[in-house]
C-alpha cells in the first residue's frame, strides 16, 4: 500500500540521518594524524572504529589473562598497601617533579582505584573524572596494545622492592599517550607519558577485599627542544633496522627528539622518516655498511622527519651485526646526533596531513635495492671480529671457514666475536639479544 511504502521510506531516511550523524561524530574523535579529506575521511573513521572494537576485545582478553594466570599458580608475593600508605610513599617520588603522578589500576576490573593528587592537574581534568574510570579509556587507541603487552602481571617488578630506592623509574618503562579531557564535540588531545609499571595489592578499607593492581609512575614527556631543553651534546639516540629497512628497535631517547613513541616507528620503513631528497643517500650508506661489515661507518648528515612534519638534520654513523654462521647482515644500527633543531620546537604537534607517512613507490624500490644487497653473504676481510671465529684467533688473517665445529667451540667463538663487537662498536645489549638469546650468558663469563 502507499502508506506502507511511505513509512518504509521515512524509516530509511531516518536511519540514513542517524548513520551520517554517527559518522560525523566519529570523525570528530579521529586523531589528527588520521584525518584526511574527501571520501578517505569516512574510510579512516570506519577503520579507526574497527581498531577501537579490536582493542576493547583485547581489553577483555587482558583481564581474562589475569584470572588464567592466577588459576595456573602465578605466585605473586604482593605486599598490601592502603590508599593512605600508597599516597604517602609515592609522594616522595611524584612531588620531586611537577609533571609526574602515580596511578593504580586494578588487574581485575581495569578501573583506576587510586591516583595521586597531582594527577588531575597533569592530565588537566577534575579528580572525579579519573577515580573509577576504565584506564584503557584514557589511553590513545594506538597505544592500548603496548600497555597490555608491557604489563603482564607475572612479569612486573614488585613495588615493595622499589621503596627507598634512589630512582623508582629505573625499571623498564613504556611510552603511551594519555588524555582525560573529553571535550564536547572537540578534538581529542593526547599527551605523551613515560609509564613505569609495578605490581602490588591495595586494600580500600578494612572491610574490602584486597585487589591486585598495577601501579604506574607516570611522567609527562616534553619536547627536547623546549625548556628545559636537552643540551645539544646530549641530543643523541640509536635505532636498529632490518635488511628490509624496517625499524626494529628505537632508543627511548628518540621520543623527545622526534616526537614519535617507539611503537609508532617499529615495523615501519626507515626510509619513511628520511627526507625524499636524502633517501638515495641511504643506498650509498648501506653499500658502505656491506663493504665494511662490522665496522662503524660515518656518513653525511640526513634529514629525519619529526612527528610534527618538520625535518631535523642529523649527523649519522652506522654499523652492522653480521651473523657469524650465515655471514649475512642480521641488522643495522644507526647512531644519530641532532645537528639542526626544527623550527617548531614542539615535535609532538600533530601533523596537518598524512602525506609524509605514506609509503611511496620510491621507498619500496629503494628498500628492495638495499635488501638485495644485504641478503648476500659478507666476504670482506676487513670485518672486525669475524676472523676470530677461525681456529687461529688472529683477526683479518683467515677467511671464514664453513667447516663443522662442535657446539663448545661454536660457543667459544661466539663469545669472542660478541666481546670484540660490543667493545669496538658500543652497541646496546637490547639490540643484540633478540637475535642470539643465549649469548648473554656467554659474554657475562668473559
Residue 282 clears pLDDT 60, i.e. is over it: yes
CATH class, domain 232-443, is alpha beta
CATH class, domain 74-220, is alpha beta
Same fold, 74-220 and 232-443: yes
pLDDT tens per residue, range 348-383: 998 776 555 788 999 999 999 999 999 999 875 444
Question: What is the band of 420 on the pLDDT scale with cuts at 50, 70, 90?
Answer: very low
Structure confidence at residue 221 (pLDDT): 95
Q: Which of 6-15, 71-80, 416-425 has the lowest mean pLDDT?
A: 416-425
SS (H, E, C) the chain: CHHHHHHHHHHHHHHHHHHHHHHHHHHHCCCHHHCCCCHHHHHHHHHHHHHHHHHHHHHHHHHHHHHHHHHCCCCCCCCEEEHHHHHHHHHHHHCCCCCEEEEEEECCCCEEEEECCHHHHHHCCCHHHCCCCEHHHCECHHHHHHHHHHCCHHHCCEHHHCCCCCCHHHCCCEEEEECCCCCCCCCCCCEEEEEEEEEEEEECCCCCCCEEEEEEEEEECCCCCCCCCCCHHHCEEEEEECCCCEEEEECHHHHHHHCCCHHHHCCCEHHHHECHHHHHHHHHHHHHHHHCCCCCEEEEEEEEECCCCCEEEEEEEEEEEECCCCCCEEEEEEEEEEEECCCCCCCCCCCCCCHHHCCCHHHHHHHHHHHHHHCCCCCCCCCCCHHHHCCCCCCCCCCCCCCCCCHHHHHHHHHHHHHHHHHHHCCCHHHHCCCCCCHHHHHCCC
pLDDT tens per residue, range 31-45: 665 665 555 577 777
What does the domain layout of the chain look like in residue ranges? 74-220, 232-443
pLDDT tens per residue, range 81-128: 888 888 888 887 777 788 999 999 998 888 999 999 888 889 888 877
Structure confidence at residue 376 (pLDDT): 93
d(CA 301, CA 68): 51
Average pLDDT, the chain: 77
Question: For strand 247-250 and strand 297-305, is the pairing parallel, antiparallel, or unpaired?
Answer: unpaired
pLDDT tens per residue, range 209-254: 888 999 999 999 999 999 889 999 999 999 999 999 999 999 999 9
Structure confidence at residue 143 (pLDDT): 93
- CA end-to-end span of the chain, whole Å? 90
Structure confidence at residue 168 (pLDDT): 55
Structure confidence at residue 430 (pLDDT): 46
Residue 402 clears pLDDT 90, i.e. is over it: no
Structure confidence at residue 441 (pLDDT): 37
**Predicted TM-score (pTM) of this structure:** 0.72
Amino acid at each position: 500500500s502507499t502508506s506502507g511504502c511511505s513509512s518504509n521510506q521515512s524509516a530509511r531516511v531516518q536511519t540514513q540521518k542517524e548513520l551520517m550523524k554517527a559518522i560525523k561524530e566519529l570523525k570528530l574523535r579521529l586523531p589528527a594524524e588520521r584525518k584526511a579529506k574527501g571520501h578517505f575521511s569516512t574510510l579512516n573513521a570506519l577503520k579507526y572504529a574497527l581498531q577501537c572494537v579490536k582493542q576493547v576485545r583485547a581489553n577483555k582478553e587482558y583481564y581474562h589473562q589475569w584470572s588464567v594466570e592466577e588459576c595456573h599458580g602465578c605466585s605473586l608475593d604482593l605486599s598490601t598497601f592502603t590508599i593512605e600508605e600508597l599516597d604517602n610513599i609515592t609522594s616522595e617520588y611524584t612531588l620531586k617533579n611537577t609533571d609526574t603522578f602515580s596511578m593504580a589500576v586494578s588487574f581485575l576490573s581495569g578501573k583506576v582505584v587510586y591516583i595521586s593528587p597531582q594527577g588531575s592537574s597533569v592530565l588537566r581534568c577534575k579528580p572525579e573524572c579519573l577515580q573509577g574510570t576504565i584506564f584503557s579509556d584514557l589511553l590513545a587507541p594506538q597505544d592500548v596494545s603496548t600497555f597490555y603487552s608491557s604489563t603482564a602481571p607475572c612479569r612486573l617488578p614488585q613495588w615493595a622492592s622499589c621503596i627507598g630506592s634512589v630512582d623508582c623509574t629505573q625499571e623498564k618503562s613504556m611510552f603511551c599517550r594519555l588524555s582525560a579531557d573529553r571535550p564536547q564535540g572537540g578534538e581529542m588531545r593526547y599527551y605523551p607519558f613515560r609509564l613505569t609499571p609495578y605490581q602490588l595489592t591495595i586494600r580500600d578499607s578494612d572491610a574490602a577485599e584486597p585487589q591486585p593492581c598495577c601501579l604506574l609512575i607516570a611522567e609527562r614527556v616534553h619536547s627536547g627542544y623546549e625548556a628545559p631543553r636537552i643540551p645539544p651534546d646530549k641530543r643523541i639516540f640509536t635505532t636498529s633496522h632490518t635488511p628490509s629497512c624496517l625499524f626494529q628497535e628505537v632508543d627511548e631517547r628518540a621520543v623527545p627528539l622526534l616526537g614519535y613513541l617507539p611503537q609508532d616507528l617499529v615495523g615501519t620503513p626507515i626510509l619513511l622518516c628520511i627526507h625524499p631528497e636524502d633517501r638515495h643517500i641511504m643506498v650509498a650508506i648501506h653499500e658502505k655498511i656491506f663493504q665494511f661489515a662490522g665496522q662503524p661507518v660515518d656518513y653525511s648528515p640526513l634529514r629525519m622527519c619529526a612527528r610534527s612534519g618538520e625535518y631535523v638534520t642529523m649527523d649519522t654513523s652506522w654499523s652492522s651485526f653480521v651473523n657469524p654462521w650465515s655471514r649475512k647482515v642480521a641488522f643495522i644500527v644507526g647512531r644519530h646526533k641532532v645537528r639542526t633543531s626544527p623550527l617548531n620546537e614542539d615535535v609532538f604537534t600533530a601533523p596537518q596531513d598524512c602525506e609524509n607517512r605514506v609509503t611511496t613507490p620510491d621507498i619500496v624500490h629503494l628498500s628492495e635495492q638495499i635488501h638485495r644487497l644485504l641478503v648476500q653473504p659478507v666476504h670482506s676481510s676487513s670485518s672486525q671480529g669475524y676472523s676470530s671465529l677461525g681456529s687461529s684467533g688472529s683477526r683479518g688473517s683467515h677467511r671464514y671457514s664453513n667447516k663443522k665445529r662442535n657446539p663448545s667451540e661454536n660457543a667459544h667463538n661466539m663469545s669472542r666475536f660478541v666481546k670484540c663487537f660490543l667493545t669496538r662498536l658500543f652497541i646496546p645489549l637490547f639490540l643484540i639479544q633478540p637475535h642470539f638469546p643465549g649469548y648473554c650468558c656467554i659474554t657475562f663469563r668473559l
